[in-house]
Amino acid sequence: MSTPTAVRHAHETAPVTPTLRHRPKNRLGRQLRRMPLRAAVALLLLIEIYPLVWLILSSLKQEDEFSLKPVWALPEGFDWANYSEAWTTGHMSTYLRNSLLATVPSLAAIIVFGVAAGFALQVMVWRGRGAVLLVFLAGVMVPLQMVLLPLFTIYFKAQLINSLWSLIITYTAFGLPLTVFLMAGYFRAIPPEVLEASFLDGAGIFRTFAVVVLPMVRNAILTIALVQFFFIWNDLLLSLTFISDDNLRTVQTGLLNFVGQYGQRQWGPTFASICLTVVPTLLLYLALNQKVMKGLTAGSVKG
């Protein structure tokens, strides 16, 4: 593939600065000189990771462990009751379902609309495409707050407040600028000869798009989908504004509500519900980590 991701990868695996440091003559000296740095890296990892470990351990503690033992003590046993409490009484199951119901359709719409629009703007030839691209680009800058109130008015009049549709429509529109912009960039990397060859073979424009072009930008689409997933999944402002019915809350507003209600008194279930929102995103990130990193670095170097 000649997508930018592949190009970046070549850079990344190349040796960075092979002869940067002069090696001290004896091994012990080298080890000693490296000690402060090792300590710094260890401290860094401690600061980044320990809060998460603490979070997960705390979610397994019983209520009296919080008051009787120091906060860094290991849990006495695995108390899964916190999780069932968060799942049922805390409505986390409902919130997770709502988040999925809002995220999946908007993600699909963003990708289908955004990829097609990027193709029309970058590859197809028509008057005004430069201007339209600029209009999409401007959308990256606009703060949500600037369109929040008219959207509330529209959804209120259309009776879409307290409906997941209001979220799906808004997420789709807000995901488009970045998707269109990035996809247009990726489409630049497709050589015109590929299109020409496909047309000469008798394929029409739609067939060429679906069979020849799409497979070439598969990785790019995955990267964008992942970035958009995190944006949508972690949204607070829109779901807070458009949803007030507890049965329709998404994970973020649900968690905010839960912490507000039980956070002071019931630490165990609170920690468990935080874990329930953190662990899925962490797992998804770990599974697709390589792709995120490559996609990110590719984007930054091009800009």
Partner 1 sequence: MTGRRHRGGGPYPDRLITYEEEPVRSMLGDKRAIAVFIGPALIVYTLVMIVPLIWSAGYTFFDGSVIGGFNFTGLDNYKQLLGDDAFWASTWFTVKYGIAVTVGQVGFGLLLALLYTFYLKRASALVRTLVFFPVVLPTVAVAAMFTKLFAVAPQPGLINSIASVLGMSGDRDWFGDSGSAFIVLVVMDVWRSMGFYAVLLYAGLVDIPDDIIEGARLDGARGWRLVRHIILPMLTPILLSSVIFSINGTLKVFDSIMALTGGGPGDTTSPLTLYMYKTAFSFGDYGYGSTIAMQLTLLSLLVTLVIFRFSRKDQTR
Residues 17-36, interacting with partner 1 (CB under 8 A): 17-20
Q: How far is the CB of 271 from partner 1 (least distance, A)?
A: 7
* 93 is a site residue for partner 1 (CB under 8 A): no
Cα separation, 16 vs 239, in Å, equals 45
Q: What is the DSSP letter of 15?
A: -
Among 26, 143, 202, 215, binds partner 1 (CB under 8 A): 143
- Span of 24-32, 47-55, 79-87, 217-225 interacting with partner 1 by CB under 8 A: 47-55
Closest Cα to residue 303, out of 181, 215, 195?
A: 181
Cβ nearer to partner 1, comparing 27 with 143:
143
Range 218-277, binding partner 1 (CB under 8 A): 230, 233-234, 236-237, 240-241, 251-253, 255-256, 259, 263-265, 267, 270-271, 274, 277
How close are the terminal C-alpha atoms of the chain, in Å?
20
Judge whether 86 and 273 are in contact, CB under 8 Å: yes
Task: Spell 168-207 as b/e; 16+ CB within 10 A means b.
Answer: bbbbbbbbbbbbbbbbbbbbebbeeeebeebeeeebeeee
* 149 is a site residue for partner 1 (CB under 8 A): yes
Cβ nearer to partner 1, comparing 27 with 70:
70
**Inter-axis angle of helices 81-88 and 92-122, nearest 10:** 70
* 55 is a site residue for partner 1 (CB under 8 A): yes
Cα separation, 241 vs 162, in Å, equals 9
Closest Cα to residue 4, out of 186, 224, 213?
A: 186
Cβ nearer to partner 1, comparing 7 with 101:
7
Cβ nearer to partner 1, comparing 104 with 287:
287
Q: Residue 118 is encoded by which pair of tokens?
A: 């990027």
Size of the site for partner 1 (CB under 8 A): 130
Each residue 177-206 as x (binds partner 1 by CB under 8 A) or -, in order, gives: x--xx--xx-xxx-xxxxxx--x----xxx
Q: Look at the block and give the residue holding tokens 């047309």.
A: 199
Q: What is the DSSP letter of 62?
A: -
Range 123-142, binding partner 1 (CB under 8 A): 123-126, 129-136, 139, 141-142
Q: How far is the CB of 113 from partner 1 (least distance, A)?
A: 4
Cβ nearer to partner 1, comparing 49 with 104:
49
Cβ nearer to partner 1, comparing 80 with 285:
285
